[in-house]
Structures are given as C-alpha cells and as structure tokens.
C-alpha cells in the first residue's frame, strides 16, 4: 500500500502544480475533512471540497515539487501519510523566484483521502480574524468514540495549559510524528518530541480552553480526531488578554486496549507565513 499511496499523492500534486487541483478531489472520500491556511473552518464532505477546489483551477502554478521525507504508516485498510513539502517558482533565467514550505498530514482509507491538513512551516496568527462558531447553551457532551478521545485530549490539554506537556507524551506511541507552528520539519519519535516539549515545559499558560466542533473518522484500530481550538489568556480583572485560534489533527491508534497518538498536526487558523 505504501507505494500506491505515494503514487496517488504525487500524481495529484503534479496536477496541482500545473493549475489543476481536481486530482485531489478525485481521490477523496465522500466524508473528507479538509483544512488549509485559507480557511477559517474545515471543509466537510466531497461536494463542498469539490466546489472549493474548482474555484482554484488555473490559480496555482509552480515548476518544482519536492516531497521531503514522506512517511506512510499502514494500519489495515487505513494509511497515515505525512511529509514536508517545498513548492518552487523559478525566474526565466533559472534562478529561484519564490519557495513555499508546507506541513502535510493525510489519512487515507481504502486509497481515498478522509482527512487532509495543510499548513505553512513556521507561521503566525493573523492580526485580525473572523471565525464562524457553533454555540450550544449548556455543557457539551460527546458520545461514543468521540467522547472517549475527547476525554483523553481534554485531560492532556488541561495539563498543557498549566505548563505541563507530559500528558501528551504519555498518550503518544514511541513512533509518534509531529508538526506545529514552529517546527522546521516533522519531528519523528517520542524521544525527539520529548526533547522539544522539554524546552516548552513551564512556558505555556492560559486560563480558558475551547474545543470547537470536533470531528472524527474511525476505521478499525485507527481514528482521526480534528477540532478547532482557542487558547485564551485572561487579565487579572477577567478580561481577555489574548486569544489564539488553532487547528488540530490527532491520529490515534489502538494499543493494548487503549488509544494512543501516532501523529499530531497543530496549525494556526488562517496562519500567515513569516
């Protein structure tokens, strides 16, 4: 399966760099969840994804496409594909005009993409952002597998917001991979991720955490959890000091009767390149 997944991806991206984004649509599942830096909320479903991509026909052209350390993790009929990506535009004289660096997370099920998360490498929050939200009065309850994974995620995030990142490390498999807004390349393995988190220990603090519209795709022993997230710091008087909007993709695998993270992708909503 590994080679077929890479071949599908490379063929779709070859069309994309020549102005045709519909190759990705053709290999996507009916219930795809799609995220990129141009969106304030994920696109859910193949019809909406197709409409979004059709308006981009002829808008994107570049001469060189580079997949940097692509990795495929297979689990039954599912496959997790992660890579860094470089798109390059050349001047007529052959010199480099511009380059764009990306993080990419894709989950395939039976050779169809069910989740796709793109973000710029090293990006920042925009100065102004309008994000559509679904507000529900009263406590929010999640049922079934979504409830199980959200419980794990919430417990780890509760520790994270108080400067303790180790809840996520305890949830992660030894082979976990990781992207976020400051990583220059994919982080590979729990040991490397622990070293990264050690640098952040005690430095992250905020008072309010909001999980927005979590979405889940489950297939056998692999599950994808996506949500938008607001981390909010408060002033002593209770007013908002700062609020940071995020996209988060967590890919879980079942190990020894429990769920563990095999891949994480964090990005800012409408994140802008430095």
The whole-number pLDDT of residue 2 equals 61
Q: Do domains 2-124 and 144-273 have the same CATH topology?
A: yes
Q: How far apart are CA 154 and CA 139, in angstroms?
A: 14
Please name which of 80, 81, 108, 77 lies closest in space to residue 220, comparing C-alpha atoms: 77
Strands 240-255 and 258-268 come out as antiparallel
The whole-number pLDDT of residue 1 equals 61
The whole-number pLDDT of residue 3 equals 65
**DSSP sequence for 248-265:** EEEEEEEETTEEEEEEEE
The whole-number pLDDT of residue 261 equals 98
Backbone angles phi, psi at 7, to 5 degrees: -65, -40
The whole-number pLDDT of residue 223 equals 97
- What pLDDT tens digit does each residue of the chain (274 aa) get? 666 999 999 999 999 999 999 999 999 999 999 999 999 999 999 999 999 999 999 999 999 999 999 999 999 999 999 999 999 999 999 999 999 999 999 999 999 999 999 999 999 999 999 998 887 777 888 999 999 999 999 999 999 999 999 999 999 999 999 999 999 999 999 999 999 999 999 999 999 999 999 999 998 899 999 999 999 999 999 999 999 999 999 999 999 889 999 999 999 999 999 8
Q: Domain boundaries in the chain?
A: 2-124, 144-273
Under CATH, to which class is 144-273 assigned? alpha beta
The whole-number pLDDT of residue 274 equals 85
Backbone angles phi, psi at 192, to 5 degrees: -70, -40
Under CATH, to which class is 2-124 assigned? alpha beta
The whole-number pLDDT of residue 133 equals 86
Question: Look-up: residue for tokens 């976990």?
Answer: 176
The whole-number pLDDT of residue 114 equals 98
């Amino acid at each position: 399966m590994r080679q077929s997944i890479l071949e599908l991806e490379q063929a779709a991206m070859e069309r994309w760099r020549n102005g045709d984004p519909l190759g990705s649509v053709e290999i996507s599942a009916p219930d795809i969840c799609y995220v990129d830096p141009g969106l304030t909320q994920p696109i859910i479903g193949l019809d909406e994804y197709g409409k979004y991509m059709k308006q981009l026909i002829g808008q994107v052209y570049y001469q060189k496409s580079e997949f940097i350390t692509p990795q495929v993790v297979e689990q039954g009929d599912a496959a997790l594909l992660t890579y860094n990506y470089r798109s390059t535009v050349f001047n007529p004289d052959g010199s480099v005009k511009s380059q764009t660096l990306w993080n990419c997370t894709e989950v395939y099920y039976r050779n169809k993409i069910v989740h796709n998360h793109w973000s710029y490498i090293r990006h920042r929050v925009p100065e102004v952002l309008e994000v559509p939200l679904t507000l529900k009065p009263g406590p929010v309850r999640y049922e079934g597998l979504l409830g199980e994974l959200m419980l794990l995620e919430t417990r780890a995030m509760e520790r994270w917001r108080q400067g303790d990142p180790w809840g996520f490390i305890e949830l992660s498999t030894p082979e976990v991979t990781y992207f976020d807004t400051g990583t220059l390349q994919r982080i590979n393995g729990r040991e490397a991720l622990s070293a990264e988190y050690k640098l952040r220990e005690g430095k992250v603090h905020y008072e309010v955490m909001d999980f927005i519209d979590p979405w889940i795709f489950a297939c056998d022993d692999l599950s994808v959890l996506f949500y938008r997230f607001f981390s909010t710091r408060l002033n002593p008087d209770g007013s908002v000091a700062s609020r940071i909007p995020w996209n988060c993709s967590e890919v879980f695998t079942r190990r020894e009767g429990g769920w563990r993270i095999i891949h994480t992708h964090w990005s800012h909503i409408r994140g802008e390149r430095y």
